[in-house]
Amino acid sequence: MALYVKKSYEELPDLLQKEGVSGARAMVVADTNTLPLYGDEAVRALSKSFAQVSTYAFPAGEEQKRLSTVEGLYQALISGGFDRHDVIFALGGGVVGDMAGFTAATYMRGITYVQLPTTLLAQVDSSIGGKTGVDFEGYKNMIGAFHLPAFVYTVPKTLETLSKREFASGMGEVIKTALLGDESFFEWLLDHIYEIDEREPKVLAEMVRRASSIKARIVAEDPREEGLRKLLNLGHTLGHAIEKYKAFSLPHGYCVALGCIAAAKISHGRELLSTEELFEIRDVFVAFDLPILVDGIDKDAVVALTKADKKMQAGQIRFVLLKKIGKAVVSTNVTDAELMDGLSFICAEDALKER
């Protein structure tokens, strides 16, 4: 799966030809926030390659990531005469990418799609690897399919329009990727805190390239998450549980950050990480405006929610721990007591008790 990082959408027609992607019709899927910002530019570029370019936009928000939204997209494709030789383009963040990808995986038993991620979280994580799906009855990504995009085409200038909260959420996945797979990238992030905070274009482009390349390398070795790819779930077991407990009021990247810190604490308890490494990991999230504490959670309830996670295997949680910064490992014997210890480390109420 090819990854392209470009200054604009102008080169999209050339890369479609290079990657052998063609058809009579193209459908640009976006949400109501993204389509007004980048829809015209994307449609202009795609009109050079397709006789018909249509758009489909749904209301922005995680709550739209459901089967009924996908059904609306099916209807638009059918009424537009789309067949299995046509192409879907996912223009937006993770919600758009996951749902457009799931639609592409299931419409007429599978059609081609291309990822055009516009958020940092999507550019470095969700657009890569072919995981698609929707939430179901409060469970995140419970219904889905593996369906690789033809390629991923990223334009980092879209990051200029992200809110501080959205950008920080993306940094949660960037830091997670460095922690599990590349110590030198972790150090690079520390060396470029100011430039990243100022969203300097060249630095952001380099950051997106490095983070997305780490994930793409792992996915290429394990496309269906049977081994190595499980490491990408660092921070996600407890992160997803917190996200669900909080009724998705916290951004995904915030929850991943909290999950990574909790995982680091469990790793420290197993003497895999030193105390210095534990606090270095915690503090890097502070530097990028991410939370290190969460309030108002019932730790027992959060632990119980981990039991319904997709990462369960034969009744055991597949939990990702850190052997060191830049090196992760999957464990299937993390106990409830260890989960509680990790949660206590990020629980605001527990932190107040210790003062």
CB 156 within 8 A of CB 204: yes
Q: Which of 149, 146, 148, 144 is nearest to 67 (CA)?
A: 144
CB 232 within 8 A of CB 180: yes
What is the rounded distance in angstroms from the CA atom of residue 344 to the CA atom of residue 355? 14
What is the rounded distance in angstroms from the CA atom of residue 292 to the CA atom of residue 230? 24
What is the rounded distance in angstroms from the CA atom of residue 349 to the CA atom of residue 144? 36
In three-state secondary structure terms, 230 is helix
In single-letter form, the type of residue at position 84 comes to R
Residue 336 makes CB contacts below 8 A (sequence gap 6+) with: 303
What is the rounded distance in angstroms from the CA atom of residue 282 to the CA atom of residue 293? 10
Give the catalytic positions in this structure. Answer: 109, 131, 173, 215, 225, 229, 233, 236, 240, 252
- Is residue 137 left, alpha or beta, with left meaning phi > 0 and alpha meaning psi from -120 to 50? left
Number of helices and strands (H, E) in the chain? 15, 12
